[in-house]
Amino acid sequence: MKKEILLSAFIIMFIFLPFVSSEMIINQQPNKVYNLGDSVIVPVTVKTLAGISATFSMDLLCGAKQINFYKNGVKLSAGEEKTMDSSLILTKEMLGEYVGTCKIKIMLPGDSVPYLLTNEFKISNLIIIQPSTEQKEYEPGQNILIVGDATKENGQNVNGFIEMEILAGNSTTGSIIQAGTINNGMYSINITLLTDMRAGNYLLKLNAYEMSPEGTKTNKGFINYNIAIKQIPTYLELMFETINVEPGTNVKVKAILHDQTGDKINSNAIITIKKGTTDIQIQSDKITDEFLEFPIAYNEPPSNWTVFAMSNQLVAESYFFVIENKRINAEIENETIIFKNVGNVPYNDTVLIKIGNESIDVLIFLDIDGIQKYELKAPNGEYQIEVLDEKGESKISQMALLTGRAIDVRNLSESSMKVLLEKPLALIFIALVVLTGVFILVRKIRKRGLYETGQERGLGLFKKKVKQPKINTAWENRAMPLSKNSKLETKNKANLSISIKGNKQDVSIVNLNIKNNKESKGNTEEPLQKIINLAENKKAFVYENQDNIFFILTPSKTRTLQNEKIALEIAQEAKEIISSYNKTAKYKINFGISLEYGSIVEKIENGILDFMSLGTLMTNAKRISSVSQEEVLLGEKIKDKLTSVRTEKQDNGKVVSYKIKEIKYHDEEHSRFIKNFLKKAEERKEDFKVI
């Protein structure tokens, strides 16, 4: 009974339910690849046999993510069909960071097949960059032009932006960035390299991207490749192991070639060493940063040398100095000491000769390579002989057998002359030689017409009426400009020479620096000329160099080796002259004064001093006077010479100088004694008158 009831109910439901019959057809499958921003269109046709009323929907399936992007109601009568044109825009806002394989799910409830799936397709955000520039090596400061194509993975042209970045290796330090645009898949971007860009390999990065209307980056792509920056020779440098070269050693010099950043470049250089500026001593092809050695003879006089280098069309010039080396050697042969000058200047100094416990000072003068012999005498026996030079350095120390009555040292050359003079025949011979010389001299004087008539002069047998001497004084006492455009004049002019052959002299110099010379107005020449006249009266040579006036005191002119005090007097009086002028003048003279001591090589012709400064003499004097503020400052060398001057050291980080605090006069006690003596003498006279 129950079975019959159930069967009846089922038949009734089947009769009264509507008959549902419809079908979905995908008209066009999606493309294989889409980029962000693309539209995915999937047209679907729905056909029904018995009529349908339902909701049609489409979902995007990407991995585990399902996104509904289309939903619409569908109502069709029996036998009717409809095409659903759905469209999906792929945006980052919808997909997030997802890229990869996706499908579209099509659903219609009541269909004979409840849903359909499209073919798989790929969603991509990739841009493919294809540069067409083949150049991979560039010079600093050069322009780099990069052109090429940019397409999306779906094959469509890119319309967006591109950035080019250049960085060293993997570092972003010092990177260069330049931006550009991409239009219809084509880009062109230009960048200028730095002129001091370090040579080496660099990474060039191209980054392309598109932007959404909301301002976020969508599709993007990049490509990296290496470029090289060349090493460009920029400047050439000469480097010495030391610029003050001692005779008997080797000068060592090398050429260093630098690139745009100062780094060294391995190359070749031609190095030329000249004595002075013209006399070539050696020319050699050397690898850069490798020393060229050239021997300097032990007796090479103090002088300036020039070094010239050339490499990769770059040149460099520098100087070194052969310094003074006053040195002698001594050796003992039997009872004789033989001294030899092995230095590069004449030796004129005192040596100490010890014979046993006795010491004897001997003044030795030797020209370069000169030899002098001295005989040693002492009561018969063996003695320890030692020779010490002026520095206290032992030249020899050994035992020797000596004979004689007393300890003594005799110059053999002087002894020979003494023996010669003791012989009558030798004296007669010498007298004849002297008389012959006098006779020849007088005849030459008469022939040259250097005498004026009117006076009787002569020597011995040659006495007769002769002309008065007419001394050639064309250059004496003549005043000449200090320089071409100078209004100052001097009778003792000095000229600086780069290379000169002459005598080496130790000199004291005073440098007067006029700091506002170019701006000076008024009669400033008057006090300066007064100072020049003052210095000339003290036998100083005068040299002008731009804003500096040098007063050079050389022993060949002053006839004394003690010129330091004279230099100090000139400096102090020059200061007083200008200070006195400034008190009343409308336009003041801003000045500085320095004193220094050092060596020059000199040659005097027609009263004019040609000189070459050795070492840093002139440079130190200029530097010290430049920091002087209307006062007298001393250099270190002359400060050591002026023992009566108490000074205070000043160091501004660039130059060391000494300010005068007090000048002690050593003859004060003597002067006081003389004054007291004269005073007492006057008193005695008064007493005498009273009596």
Q: What is the mean pLDDT of residues 654-670?
A: 73
201 plus 71 within the same structural domain: no
Give pLDDT tens digits for 170-186: 444 567 888 999 999 99
In a domain, 676, yes or no: no
Given a contact cutoff of 8 angstroms between Cβ atoms, the answer to whether 200 and 171 are in contact is: no
CA distances from 14 to 1, 5, 23, 114 (A): 21, 15, 21, 21
Which residues, in sequence order, are CB contacts of 512 under 8 Å at separation 6+?
528, 531, 548, 549, 550, 551, 574, 591, 592, 593, 625
561 plus 659 within the same structural domain: yes
Position 685 scores a pLDDT of 47
Give pLDDT tens digits for 323-351: 999 989 999 988 899 999 999 999 988 88
CATH of the domain at 580: 3.30.70.1230
597: pLDDT strictly greater than 70 = yes
94: pLDDT strictly greater than 90 = no
Give pLDDT tens digits for 431-484: 777 787 777 776 665 655 444 443 444 444 344 444 443 434 444 556 788 776
Which residues, in sequence order, are CB contacts of 81 under 8 Å at separation 6+?
45, 46, 47, 48
Model confidence band, residue 303 (pLDDT cutoffs 50, 70, 90): very high
Q: What is the mean pLDDT of residues 636-652?
A: 89
More confident residue, 110 or 186: 186
Kindly tell me the sign of the dihedral angle through the C-alpha atoms of 452, 455, 456, 457: negative
Domain residue limits at 258: 235-322
In a domain, 57, yes or no: yes
Query: What is the biggest distance separating any 2 CA atoms in the chain, rounded to whole angstroms?
Result: 196
Which residues, in sequence order, are CB contacts of 80 under 8 Å at separation 6+?
47, 48, 51
Position 144 scores a pLDDT of 87
- What phi and psi values does residue 625 have, to the nearest 5 degrees? -65, -30
**Structural domain ending residue among the three candidates 229, 252, 279:** 229
531 plus 580 within the same structural domain: yes
Position 595 scores a pLDDT of 95
DSSP string, 366-389: E-TT-EEEEEEE-SSEEEEEEEE-
131 plus 120 within the same structural domain: no
Select from 46, 48, 47, 51 the least CA-distant residue to 18.
51
CATH of the domain at 248: 2.60.40.1930
Position 447 scores a pLDDT of 54
155 plus 177 within the same structural domain: yes
Position 675 scores a pLDDT of 55
75 plus 111 within the same structural domain: yes
In a domain, 690, yes or no: no
Say how far residue 517 (Cα) sits from the centre of its chain. 30
Compute the distance between CA of residue 352 and CA of residue 644 in angstroms, rounded to an integer: 28
498 plus 640 within the same structural domain: yes
6-15, 390-399, 414-423 — most confident range: 390-399
Average pLDDT of the residues of the chain = 82
Compute the distance between CA of residue 100 and CA of residue 62 in angstroms, rounded to an integer: 7
61 plus 164 within the same structural domain: no
Given a contact cutoff of 8 angstroms between Cβ atoms, the answer to whether 202 and 227 are in contact is: yes
Q: What is the mean pLDDT of residues 579-588?
A: 86
- Count of domains for the chain: 6
Strand extents, DSSP E, 558-627: 591-605, 608-613
Compute the distance between CA of residue 312 and CA of residue 368 in angstroms, rounded to an integer: 43
Compute the distance between CA of residue 589 and CA of residue 550 in angstroms, rounded to an integer: 17
657 plus 525 within the same structural domain: yes
Position 477 scores a pLDDT of 53
Give pLDDT tens digits for 114-131: 788 999 999 999 999 999
In a domain, 669, yes or no: no
Position 613 scores a pLDDT of 84
Query: In terms of pTM, does the model score above 0.75?
Result: no
- What phi and psi values does residue 580 have, to the nearest 5 degrees? -65, -40
CATH of the domain at 42: 2.60.40.10
In a domain, 474, yes or no: no
Model confidence band, residue 426 (pLDDT cutoffs 50, 70, 90): low
Position 679 scores a pLDDT of 57
More confident residue, 174 or 625: 625
- The 3-state DSSP class for residue 558 equals helix
Compute the distance between CA of residue 515 and CA of residue 627 in angstroms, rounded to an integer: 10
Task: Write the burial class of residue 403 (CB in 10 Å: 0-12 exposed, 13-18 middle, 19+ buried).
Answer: exposed
In a domain, 309, yes or no: yes
Compute the distance between CA of residue 467 and CA of residue 458 in angstroms, rounded to an integer: 10
- What phi and psi values does residue 312 have, to the nearest 5 degrees? 50, 45
CA distances from 201 to 162, 166, 267 (A): 23, 10, 20
Position 463 scores a pLDDT of 43
Give pLDDT tens digits for 199-231: 889 998 999 999 988 888 889 999 998 989 998
Given a contact cutoff of 8 angstroms between Cβ atoms, the answer to whether 273 and 295 are in contact is: no
Given a contact cutoff of 8 angstroms between Cβ atoms, the answer to whether 62 and 123 are in contact is: yes
Select from 599, 622, 625, 619 the least CA-distant residue to 611.
599
488 plus 597 within the same structural domain: yes
